[in-house]
Amino acid sequence: MAQKKENKNVFASFYYSFPVQLLINHLKRNHLLLFCWFILFLVVTENIGRYLGIPFLYLDPEYLDNVSFTSFFIMGFVIAGFSIAFHITAYIIDGHRFTFLGALPKPFSRFSLNNSLIPFVFFVVYIIQIIKFQKFNEFASSVQIIKYLAGLLSGYVAMTLAMFMYFRLTNKDIFKFVADSFNEKLKQKLRVTRATVMEKMQVAKKREIRVDNYLDLNLKFNSVPSETIYRTDFITKVFDQNHLNLVIFEFVVFLLLLFLGIFRDIKYFQLPAAATTVLFFTIIVMFIGAFAYWFRNWAVSIALIILITVNFLMKQELFSGRFEAFGLDYNETPAVYNHQTIREQNRKELRENDLKNTTVILENWKSKFNGNEKPRAVFLCVSGGGQRASLWTLMVLQKADSATDDNLFKHSILITGASGGIVGASYYRELKLRKFAGEDIDPGNPVYLENISKDNLNPVIFSFLVNDLFVKFQHFEYNGYKYSKDRGYSFEEQINKNTESILDKPLSDYRVPEKNAVIPLLIMGPTIINDGRKLFISPQNVSYMNIMGNGAISVTPEGIDFLRFYKKQGSEQLRYLSALRMNATFPYITPNITLPSNPPMEIMDAGISDNFGISDALRFIFAFKDWLEQNTSGIIILSIRDSNKNKPIALRSSKSLIEKFSNPISSIYINFENLQEINNNDKIIFAHNWYNGEITRIDLQYIPQSLTSDPKDIDRASLSWRLTTREKKDIRSSIYLNVNQKELKRLNDLLN
């Protein structure tokens, strides 16, 4: 009996301790505050966002293009700031429920210490995840990991000490020098605040949450005084002061984000994107506190009213949300975008003229070979897939060109594809062009693999948080026109930086080298959201890509020739990097570009219609099938893909209620690549019916090294613009797999 009573007392002592009661109170009432922590927990444990590489920003933060003591110091600093904002908000919202604080000195410090259970657990989990990630994904040494953790802890401690020193000084001095001098004015300004405090104090006396003990500043548990003294006037001042601290803290963080946005081009102000994300969460937490405190029971209603109002203003275009393609003239009268215009730009005489001009290019291509020789024609089809596709495509082109004694690009007529694959192919094509122009350059140099695989996600997320979420007030000039510095600009500038600025040129700069067949044609085909058509971007007019059929006017064009459609808006001067961005648009990361037409044409990733580029290659082959049959000894479709063509079939295990509910939609998304692959296979099979020559398909695939018979063991590199060291190594080693070496040998045998 005595043992049971003792156990009961131990449980009661634990259950009614201040830290536990604060946690229970959060679970009951403060769901939005917990949601912010919940998201951070999911991110750092790689349970959400891994597909896009978001957790890497937290576990491997970059500052000044390096992961270092400083980058982790910044992370520790802002996480501590977020924790303090959480304490302030919780204290203002719920401090009145624990009236014993009024009898204690430094009530806010004691409240924060007892409220640190969630921040402490998060920080421990974060440290564990950093160690695991750095060890298994970045292959960091123990010394490096210790240095990173030292930076993290130093930043956390520095921010915590600074903030609590501020609170200590303000709680002592503000009311002595400010409140006394402006007491009447302060009373008027904070009348609602004081009324709220007094009201809550009265309620708290009746609905006080039971607390038997609390963790004191000496880290020992003390019993709550049996008779709590309600020092109402003192508590009112403390609440007023901490509300003022909340306002000041929130204002400072908001100004910091604006400051970072204004000076975003100065590298020292470009914080790690994860740190900026935490600052954004800090603002959210403090807004929650302000709403809950000022509007009380009306908080949710007021928040909904504000949301509806902002949505209405956005709909009225009072806030510009347009993302532009650099080089185009948005002040010119917009191109008319309707069915009549589309038909007019696909007139038979225009298509015949484009066919004639491209035939000249094909003849120039053929002239590179000996006399009566009928060379094989190579069509390079590169898949999308963010930075993993960029790295894989570039490396395959380097290895394949080398394995064929530089014959691959000599035989290549056309490059098609999506997203990252086109970025990698464009980089290699430019390197080859410069070599042909006489520059002392080796396109096969591994340094270019390092360049193309450098982080491109951090600046995009940073720009999104410090600029795009607020007013886009910064601009820059390109080709004599002014554009906003948005995250699309950041994306292009980072690619430009990573590739040493060699792709920073207008689209028209590639017209002559393509016409002379110095380099292969490259046609991008991003998707037009408005109607599902493709927008074919090339320095040549390619209207023959718009209709795959007998060319009858009754056939509805399936594409639009960008160069001709936007001629008045300066299509020839489109920045090539903007063309790459249009072809690699991914929701939320690289935003949809809006083109100057009426109605505005919105562009999305080419991968929506065909992530592998094969359908576009077949369109070209169909348009020139007669010439290809007569002048080549066969066609090679070289598919460079960032996925396994024959990956194991996933086991469909028992599903939860949520999985069963979402399965009809999620299954389509999961099998999107498979659906496109099946469709492309059908098109190639059908091509044998209308093409009398030989068509050979060669697949070079990125296959994760951890791939086994169990689909759960697949550890494919993330679909992101940020790769880990482990992922880079995995991608680069995939070319040496037997399946890829056999395909390289087939390619060499066909070309030599």
pLDDT tens string 530-553? 999 999 999 999 999 998 765 444
Q: What is the rounded distance in angstroms from the CA atom of residue 550 to the CA atom of residue 568?
A: 30
Q: Rounded to an integer, what distance in angstroms lies between the CA atom of residue 140 and that of residue 66?
A: 13
Distances from the Cα of 407 to the Cα of 156, 158, 745, angstroms: 57, 59, 13
**Mean pLDDT to the nearest integer, 388-410:** 95
Query: Cα separation of 709 and 706, whole Å?
Result: 10
Q: Say whether pLDDT at 636 is over 60.
A: yes
Give all domains of the chain, ordered by start, each with its CATH number.
Answer: 8-315 (no CATH), 335-644+668-751 (3.40.1090)
Residue 113 has pLDDT above 80, yes or no: yes
Instruction: Note whether 623 and 594 are within 8 A (CB).
Output: no
- Please compute Rg for the chain using Cα positions: 31
**pLDDT recorded at residue 573:** 97
Tell me the mean pLDDT in the region 244-260: 75
54-to-22, 47, 57, 418 alpha-carbon distances in Å:
31, 10, 6, 22
> Under 8 Å CB-to-CB from 298, ≥6 apart: which residues?
none
pLDDT at site 293: 65
Residue 261, pLDDT above cutoff 60? yes
Per-residue pLDDT at 227 exceeds 60: no
Please give the Cα distance from 128 to 694 (Å, whole number).
Answer: 57
Percent of the chain with pLDDT over 70: 82
Report DSSP letters for 3-68, one per residue.
Answer: HHHHHHHHHHHHHTBHHHHHHHHHHHH-HHHHHHHHHHHHHHTTSSSGGGTHHHHHHS--BTTB-S
Structure-derived torsion over alpha carbons of residues 443, 513, 453, 391, reported in degrees to the nearest 10? -80
What confidence tier does 711 reach under pLDDT thresholds 50, 70, 90?
Answer: very low
pLDDT, one tens digit per residue, over 585-615 is 876 678 889 999 999 999 999 888 889 999 9
- Residue 246's pLDDT is what? 62
Mean local confidence (pLDDT), 725-729? 92
Query: 260 or 139, which is more confident?
Result: 139
Burial of 436 (0-12, 13-18, 19+ CB in 10 A): middle
In whole angstroms, give the CA distance from residue 431 to residue 57.
Answer: 30
CA dihedral 248, 250, 256, 257 (to 10 degrees): -160
**Higher-pLDDT residue of 735, 660:** 735
Question: pLDDT by residue (tens digit) across 330-372?
Answer: 999 999 999 999 999 989 899 999 999 999 999 999 999 987 7
With 70 as the cut, is the pLDDT of residue 727 above it?
yes
Are 379 and 617 spatial neighbours (Cβ–Cβ below 8 Å)? yes
Q: How far is CA 641 from the centre of its chain?
A: 21
Mean of the per-residue pLDDT values for the chain? 84
Distances (CA, A) of 332 to 319, 329, 566, 567: 21, 6, 10, 11
DSSP 610-645: -SSSHHHHHHHHHHTHHHHHHH-S-EEEEEEESS-T
Residue 527 is predicted with a pLDDT of 94
Could you tell me the pLDDT band of residue 708, with boundaries at 50, 70 and 90? very low
